[in-house]
Amino acid sequence: MAGRDVIGIAKTGSGKTLAYVLPLLRHMDAQPDLGPHESGPLGLILAPARELAYQIHVVCKNMAKPLGYKSTAVYGGAGVAEQIADLKRGTHIVTATPGRLIDILTMQSGKILSLQRVTYVVMDEADRMYDMGFAPQISAILAAVRPDRQTVLFSATFPKAVESLARKSLQYPVEVMVGGRSVASDSVTQYAERVEEDEKFLRLLQVLGEQVEGTKKVIVFVDTQVRADNLFEQLLRNGYSTLSLHGGKEQEDRDSTISDFKRKDGPNVLVATGVAGRGLDVGSCTCVINFSAPNHLEAYVHQVGRTGRAGNRGVAYTFVSSTDEAKFAPNVVRAMSEAGQGDNISPELRQLSDEFQAKVEKGEARYAGSGFKGKGYTYDSTELSEAQKMARLEKRQALLEAGLLDPDEEDPYANDTNDSHLKNDSASSSTQMKKVAGIEMEIPDTLTPEILALPGMKEALLRKAGIILPTAGNEGEAATEPLLGPVRMGDNHWLREFEINEYPREARWKVTQKDTTSRLQEEFRTAVTLKGTYFGPGKEPKDDERKLYLHLEATSDRMLQDCVQEIQRLLNEETLRVSAKQGVGGGSHKYNVLA
């Protein structure tokens, strides 16, 4: 309430959402209301998961409506058109996931949503957002918010490794800790036992027989989507009213699953992966079963915290097998011991934990990771959605048809986001001394005689080396005449043809992509049209064919000359860049050799 930046740590189910929504409402009440041309918002809440973002939105909506404020949820998987419409109608609170929020912020040059009026920013489950690799997105979002904002971070777990990263977004924060850091809720009675994989389902049926009655709900956590679907089918065959929830489902299915599970007359059992591990609030959930052992301490704390919320009591069971899950046993033992429930750990599980620790001390095994050392998303082709893959294929086909790409070559921009090995490679391109325009200088071996013979290439090399040659006063020198000089067709109509067939594919793509042609049209009032057909090395066109070239039309000779110079500069720079990249990283390869 004093306006300080805050890091809030408290156990699951203790009311952290209310703790930051009340000051948010007070912030909005103290601010001037939105003007006629302002769409807001005044408060911004960021969450790592879609379900959590929607759940927070519902809380904000119920509390803000009596005060005359509007709340909007912005998250992936849902229709973006509806979300944009809600934002344009005006909103005071936006609850969002970072990815979708950045998508909307960058649409229409930032005209859809502005964060200039935001005075209060919340990052719920902040540790998870940073661990998921959202740090760059969070920094970008906060950069768009006014600097005198108040920023608060809330979570039930906050490891030191993540806290140091999160503090960079805050100014002299005060840390409020209720209970312990990364400690499971004391309102949950916890049991952990050693159960082998082939015995887990029978043990699960025993626990469900004790816990499922009336309106009591049970959440069963598993590690993979496949296991979630298999266990869901097995429970249905055994007569249990069951639902499944995981990241492989469509967002509408996930929303309806949570809604059905929260209903008093809804199914009693929910089989879920880690997507339901944080923030999900089901008051009637009295039991949590970790069918698959949580792979780190923080996951255990949050999954167990789905029960025993808001003053209620709950019970949690954790199954650990001695084969694949032995490395997680020390985490489970530690979590229960710190929660004061070490007496509920089975002797077999303690023995398994001790045996694994002994192996670690001998160097025969390694502890499981903390779960907070992830590098975030790689943003490469392995993480493309089906729609993105299809769009990339269509783009490649268009390049092939335009002659900008050879059929046996890869898309030159397919791996642009994964070229860090080129930047970090310690190998350098081999060079040799050559004379360029009578001046001796180092030239990379990748610059072949064919490339050096391209129009304007020697001049580009000299400019790159800081050497400016005197010109004859005519900017349209013969050396830069790739095909046909300017032809006057009328008083305000000039034509020119510019051959690009011999340039590398990346250079051809650079000058023909839409952004470049649009810029040339705007700056030089010159229309650029791609014509002809691409012919590879050693291939010559027939009588009725032309090599790939640009057809340029302008309203004056001067405009046309300036546009040609800009195209020549782009082609040469891109050619030099490609040559340098091939020298450092060996160029693009069609095949990868896996060890």
Pair 240, 212: CB distance under 8 Å? yes
Give the tokens for residue 9: 């740590």
Would you give the DSSP letter of residue 533? B
CA atoms within 13 A on the CB side of 288: 37
Region of 581 please: left (phi>0), alpha (psi -120 to 50) or beta.
alpha
Structure letter (DSSP) for residue 224? S
Q: For residue 168, what are the domain limits?
A: 6-178
Closest CA to 326 of 302, 304, 300, 359: 359
CATH of the domain at 503: 3.30.1370.10
Token pair, residue 135, equals 């740090």
Chain position carrying tokens 């959440």: 219
Structure-token pair, residue 41: 């918002």
In a domain, 235, yes or no: yes
The Cα 5–Cα 514 span in angstroms is 45
Are 468 and 568 in the same domain?
A: yes
52 and 84: one domain? yes
Please state the domain count of the chain: 3
Can you tell me the distance from the alpha carbon of 23 to that of 149, in angstroms, rounded to the nearest whole number? 13
What pLDDT, on the 0 to 100 scale, is given for residue 165?
Answer: 72
DSSP conformation class of 493? E
Pairing of strands 493-499, 526-531: unpaired
Domain end among 303, 331, 362: 362
Express the helix, strand and coil content of the chain in percent, nearest 5 each: 45, 20, 40
Within a domain: residue 380?
no
Residue 121: per-residue pLDDT: 95
Residues 200 and 168 in one domain: no
Which residue among 127, 145, 178 closes a domain? 178
At residue 491, what are phi and psi to the nearest 5 degrees?
Answer: -60, -40
User: ∠160-162-166 over CA atoms, to 5°?
Assistant: 115
Q: What is the pLDDT of residue 532?
A: 87
The pLDDT, as a whole number, for residue 555 is: 84
> Are 172 and 199 members of one domain?
no
Partnered with residue 191 across adjacent β-strands are: 317
pLDDT at position 402: 61
Q: pLDDT per position in the chain (595 positions), as tens?
A: 888 999 988 888 788 899 999 999 998 888 888 887 787 799 999 998 888 898 899 999 999 999 999 999 999 888 888 899 888 888 999 999 998 998 898 888 778 888 989 999 999 988 888 777 778 888 889 888 988 899 999 888 877 767 777 788 888 889 888 877 777 777 889 999 999 999 999 999 999 999 888 788 999 999 998 999 999 999 999 999 999 998 888 888 888 898 899 888 889 999 999 888 776 788 788 999 999 998 888 888 888 888 888 778 899 999 999 888 888 999 899 888 888 888 899 999 999 999 988 888 888 777 766 555 444 444 455 556 666 766 777 676 666 666 555 555 555 545 444 333 333 333 344 555 555 555 555 566 556 666 666 666 666 665 555 444 444 344 333 344 455 566 666 677 888 888 888 888 888 888 888 888 888 888 888 888 888 888 888 888 887 788 888 988 888 888 888 888 889 888 888 888 877 766 544 444 444 444 3
**Residue 117 placed within a domain:** yes
Are 100 and 212 members of one domain? no
Residue 450 sits in the same domain as residue 349 = no
398 to 102, 412, 464, 589: CA distances (angstroms): 29, 13, 33, 21
One-letter amino acid of 169: S
CA dihedral for 434, 439, 440, 445, sign (positive or negative): negative
- 112 and 206 in a single domain? The answer is no
Burial class (CB in 10 A: 0-12, 13-18, 19+), 577: middle
CATH number reported for the structural domain that contains residue 328 in this entry: 3.40.50.300
> How many whole angstroms separate alpha carbon 269 and alpha carbon 144?
43
One domain for residues 286 and 358? yes
How many CA within 13 A on the CB side of residue 38?
12
Long-range contacts of range 196-203, CB-CB < 8 Å, 24 or more positions apart? 196/321, 196/322, 196/323, 197/321, 197/323, 197/324, 200/291, 200/319, 200/321, 201/231, 201/234, 203/319
Same domain, 243 and 334: yes
Domain membership flag for residue 420: no
Alpha-carbon distance 269 to 261, whole Å?
A: 8
The contacts of residue 110 (CB under 8 Å, 6+ apart) are none
Q: Clarify whether residues 440 and 553 are in a common domain.
A: yes
Q: What is the pLDDT of residue 540?
A: 86
| Shared-domain flag, residues 465 and 541 | yes
Is residue 561 situated within a structural domain?
A: yes
| 549 contacts 500 by C-beta, under 8 angstroms | yes
Last residue of a domain, one of 347, 362, 377: 362
User: What residues does 72 pair with on adjacent strands?
Assistant: 94
- Evaluate whether 126 touches 166 at the Cβ level (below 8 Å): yes
The residue with tokens 């006014």 is 146
Within a domain: residue 118? yes
Residue 103 in any domain: the answer is: yes
∠ CA 529-533-537 to the nearest 5 degrees? 130
Asked whether residue 125 falls in the same domain as residue 232, the answer is no
The residues, ordered by sequence, that sit 6+ positions from 350 with a Cβ below 8 Å of its Cβ are 333
Whether residue 382 lies inside any domain: the answer is no
